[in-house]
Structure 1
Amino acid sequence: MIAEDNKFAARQYRLLLEKNGHKVVTVENGVECVKKYKEQLKKTEFDSLDESPFDIVLLDHNMPKKTGARAAKEILEKNPRQKILFVTGYQRWALEDETDDLVDKIAVLEKPFTLSQLERKIRSLV
């Protein structure tokens, strides 16, 4: 799943993930992200208790309606096993107030980065 309000960035992430065999759902804000996540979680909850509905959730931090940090917290409350990658223009220390309790539960890739760097980071997580 990709939650990114920048349409160009979201498209680049989607193409990269699809190239690597992932099925992708893209949303533009944190509210949509949590809603779609919960819908997918309900669809997969009987498949396996160890399964997450997505291989990885890519979250931008600064999105309309709900920040990536808030969306990550809500997703992890529903499924603590879900792998989450923050892709953000903020340096990690600038996110500490909102993400302090998420430090061990999420990965962060700071913008700017290349698609190759993103691909390597995703592979290391999934």
Structure 2
Amino acid sequence: MKILIAEDEPDIAMQYELALKDRKHDVIITNDGEQCLEAFYHELEKDEPARNRKMMKRPPFDAVILDYRMPKKDGMEVAKEILAIEPKQRILFASAYVLETLVDSVKTLQQVVELIQKPFELDPFVDLIEDKGIYSELEKLNVNAKEIKDLNPTHQQVLDLLEGLKKLQKGRAL
């Protein structure tokens, strides 16, 4: 997976990077909101020829991890800008900010984003990014998760598959 992280605390950023690289993910670390947007735009520019030919159907990153409070631009500003350009981009807020305030703030985005409150253990954090819980639910529905992973779907595609299968299963149970 290709993951963009905006985290202004160097020790925390290093922990994220090590945990994700240990699981073979491609990670870009930025220290503030402006750097995060620069990295995002840089990745978009690399894919511009494919976008012009309507070939690119997925966001430039599998996940963008944002701290809520950062220098230069906070995570909410960054999320708004990214989602305005790429509405299907998966965004996760990893923040120590008061959860209720964070939930209220992300509602202004009018799009689904994920929240994980600091402090947290790194393994569950990486599992969340990798959609381990979703794949586990798919396996309970007798789906071969490995075959699905091999297709390299986006997070939204995996969620849609799970929801569709749940609806089918519910229809059969009636």
- What is the TM-score with the length of structure 1 in the denominator? 0.90
Residue of structure 1 aligned with 2:22, choices 19, 23, 38: 19
Using CA pairs under 8 Å that are at least 6 residues apart, name the structure with larger relative contact order, 1 or 2: 1
What amino acid is aligned across from residue 25 of structure 1 in structure 2? I
Secondary structure at the counterpart of residue 24 of structure 1: strand
Give 2:172's aligned residue: none
Note the 1:93-104 alignment, pairs <5 A.
Answer: 93-102=100-109, 104=111
Q: Is the 8 A contact 1:44 1:51 kept in 2?
A: no
Q: SS state of the match for residue 127, structure 2?
A: helix
Q: CA RMSD in A?
A: 1.7
Match of 1:44 in 2: 47
Counterpart-to-counterpart distance in 2, 1:19 and 1:46 = 32
Q: Match for 1:73: what amino acid?
A: K
Q: CA deviation at 1:36?
A: 1.4
Shift of 1:23: 1.1
In the alignment, the residues of structure 2 paired with residue 61 and residue 28 of structure 1 have an alpha-carbon distance, to the nearest angstrom, of 12
Percent identical pairs in the alignment equals 37
Displacement after TM superposition at 1:101 (Å): 2.4
**Aligned length in residues:** 126
- Which residue of 73, 77, 82 corresponds with 1:70? 77
Q: Secondary structure at the match of 2:61?
A: coil
Counterparts of 2:67 and 2:95, CA distance in 1: 5
Q: CA deviation at 1:97?
A: 4.7
Q: Per-residue displacement from partner, 1:37-85 (whole Å, max 9, x unpaired)?
A: 0111111233332122111111111100111011011011111111111
Q: Please, which runs of 5 or more residues in structure 1 have no aligned partner?
A: none
Q: Which residue is equivalent to 2:139?
A: none
Alpha-carbon spacing, 1:76–1:104, altered in 2? closer, same or farther (3 Å): closer
Is 1:117 the counterpart of 2:124 in the alignment?
A: yes
Structure 1 range deviating more: 44-53 or 54-63? 44-53
**C-alpha distance after superposition, 1:66-113 (max 9, x if no partner):** 110110110111111111110000233112453222364210000110
Q: What corresponds to 1:56 in structure 2?
A: 63
Residue 4 of structure 1 is matched in structure 2 by 7
Matches of 2:48 and 2:24 in 1, distance apart? 22
For 2:100, give the aligned amino acid. Answer: W
The one-letter amino acid of 2:89's match is Q
